[in-house]
Structure 1
Amino acid sequence: MRALARIFAGLTALAVIAAGAFWFVMLEFQEPGTLAEETIVQVPRGTGLNAIADRLVEADVIDNRWIFIAGVYANRQERALQAGEYAFPANVSPEEAMTLMATGQTVTYSVTVPEGRTSAEIVATLQEEDRLTGEIESVPPEGSLLPETYHYVRGDSRESILDRMEAAMDEALASAWEDREEGLPYETPEEALTMASIIEKETGVAGERPMVASVFVNRLRRGMPLQSDPTVIYALTEGAAPLGRELLRTDWAFESPYNTYHVAGLPPGPIANPGIQSIQAALNPADTDYLYFVADGTGGHAFAETLAEHNRNVAQWRRVRQQSEE
């Protein structure tokens, strides 16, 4: 009996010690750490728990790898920790570090594509994002990418961003087409997209876009050429890069299906990637009788119903430009 009592007492002592050790580990696991400032740590795919702990120690995110490993096992998260780039805040506890990685709260970045960029220009923008990976095999069709801000994590591919941009454009165009005004001179959503790209390049003033759309819609309905300067620029550059100079009157004679001084109707496709507002303007233009517009010297445009009125606006614009050059 005494032997059994001694064994029982020994087991009890071991249990108390184990419980105490577990309690100590959990306290340390939850205790704020000594990390002085936010630190970013990259965890590659396939990195095991031991290697993760070593990386966190090397970056001073945690002080004791064994406390971290024990705490992860105690919480049954050893298979939940995800690869990626993590921003660990100052004084992060081992438990908070585990939670950050188990929930995959990786560092995110963003790339913003302004409205009106050509597909070649957008590809060039993505090539400059050094956190993205992979090469872009071909330039997407003009007008197929929706300009917007896109978020990504380090290691995402450039092609994946293009895929998201194409899906976003498909969705935006389909939605706007469903809500379009009746009787517009477009037979397909693609024709509306072409119009939207011209509107996008003609004005950067959001409130003007429906009026610019009305001018072009009115001209199409009357069989008048659109006579849009941005279409001439696209004909000259094919969207590869900015023209790099002022457009000349002699350029209006350049033979191209994209030159709307040279050919009637819409060009054969978009001349840029328009934003949602320009797409909506193309499909819901303002109700006007305007047939002309010209820059007014303030960043906007002066609109006119008759050629005589337009010529007066053009003369005024020339005076404003001359004064600015003096």
Structure 2
Amino acid sequence: MQYPSAIKLIAFLILIAEFSIIALALFLFLPLANKGLEFQINKGEDFGVIAQKLEDAGAVRSIWGLKLAEKISGGGNMVKAGKYKLEKDYGPFALVELLGNGPKKIIVRIPEGSTLVDVDRIFSEAGLLKKGTLFLLSQRLEGYLFPDTYEFYAGQPLGEMLEVINANFNSKTKDILPAGQEGDKAIILASILEKEVQTEEDMRIVAGILLKRMSSGMRLQVDATLCYDKQFATMGEWKDCYPITEEDKNSKSPMNTYRNHGLPPGPIGNPSLSAIKAALDPASSSYLFYLSAPNGETIFSQNYEEHKKNISIYLR
């Protein structure tokens, strides 16, 4: 009988199988030197397509190892779209977990009164889009990029980001902002108030002054409209708008409220909720002129002579 030899052979084969399984497991599941790799996952993409993409990119040793890790962890249906950059070496299980958590979150703030050019710069510096993308998309976004803090993810489509911002704008203004042209005019006026004065109380007074000027046939003569024109014309490269020159005041731009009557044709920035409320609830006063002192205080005047005196006191 040769049972001992057979037992030895079986034991040897089992040992070989164990080593093979261990070697295969190490090959499939140990972290790969994939730190620094970047890849894009598109919304709605099938996990099989994602796995093939990651194998092609060198993020995993084998598509089967990643698929097996996904089956074991059950994370394939939770993959979040976006642009990923691997900050360390990942194995299949860690990679599936990363895909479930989503790409790096990017938090940006749109400041009150910021312009389309400003927002374009903020988003491009944060790595959310290429510089000039917003600027070239449409100037009609001006005034409706609601100032707030937003959380996006790397590689998020611009359309999705704009949907988030637009939903926030609608949520904050739906109960106060009229529809149609009246609402558009309120946003234009609010954008001027945001640039011209600081407190909501002063905004209401200035709103009343500007509306009074228009109803009496006066030009608004708002410096901020000239500054906006300069910034927009130079894609934000114009560093300081002041001093305002006679050439500025004689500009043929439709935004020039020294030359043209009425409101400018569009907003000159993205106003806060306080500015929008002030535009919709102007305060009645005896004032017709105002200026902003260097400390931010708004100085009001009832007539031009008084205004000239205030200029000599506060601005010279």
TM-score tier by shorter-chain length is 0.5 to 0.7
Unaligned runs of 5+ in 2: 1-34, 42-48, 87-91
Are 2:304 and 1:307 aligned?
Answer: yes
CA change 1:221–1:100 in 2 (3 A) is same
| Equivalent position of 1:293 in the other structure | 290
Contact 1:43–1:83 under 8 Å retained in 2: no
| SS of 2:139 mapped into structure 1 | coil
| SS of 1:111 mapped into structure 2 | strand
| SS of 1:309 mapped into structure 2 | helix
**Distance apart, 1:253 and its partner CA:** 3.2
Identity of aligned residues (%): 27
**Distance apart, 1:75 and its partner CA:** 5.6
1:220-231 matched pairs, under 5 angstroms: 220-231=214-225
Contact 1:150–1:161 under 8 Å retained in 2: no
| SS of 1:177 mapped into structure 2 | coil
CA change 1:73–1:266 in 2 (3 A) is closer
The amino acid of 2:216's aligned partner reads R
Task: Give the number of aligned pairs.
Answer: 276
Contact 1:116–1:272 under 8 Å retained in 2: yes
Contact 1:84–1:106 under 8 Å retained in 2: yes
TM-score normalised to structure 1 length: 0.62
| Equivalent position of 1:237 in the other structure | 230
1:78-227 matched pairs, under 5 angstroms: 79-82=77-80, 102=100, 104=101, 106-132=103-129, 138-141=137-140, 142-169=142-169, 172-178=172-178, 188-227=182-221
The amino acid of 1:237's aligned partner reads K
The amino acid of 2:254's aligned partner reads P
**Distance apart, 1:302 and its partner CA:** 0.8
**Distance apart, 1:135 and its partner CA:** 5.0
Contact 1:108–1:151 under 8 Å retained in 2: yes
CA change 1:71–1:115 in 2 (3 A) is same
TM-score normalised to structure 2 length: 0.64
Contact 1:47–1:83 under 8 Å retained in 2: no
| SS of 1:146 mapped into structure 2 | coil
Cα RMSD (Å) of the superposition? 4.7
1:71-82 matched pairs, under 5 angstroms: 73=71, 76-77=74-75, 79-82=77-80
The amino acid of 2:230's aligned partner reads T
Unaligned runs of 5+ in 1: 1-38, 59-67, 89-93, 181-185, 322-326
Give per-residue Cα distances to partners, 1:238-263, cap 9 Å, x unaligned.
72343654112453233343222222
CA change 1:221–1:105 in 2 (3 A) is same
Measured in 2, the distance between the counterparts of 1:312 and 1:187 equals 38
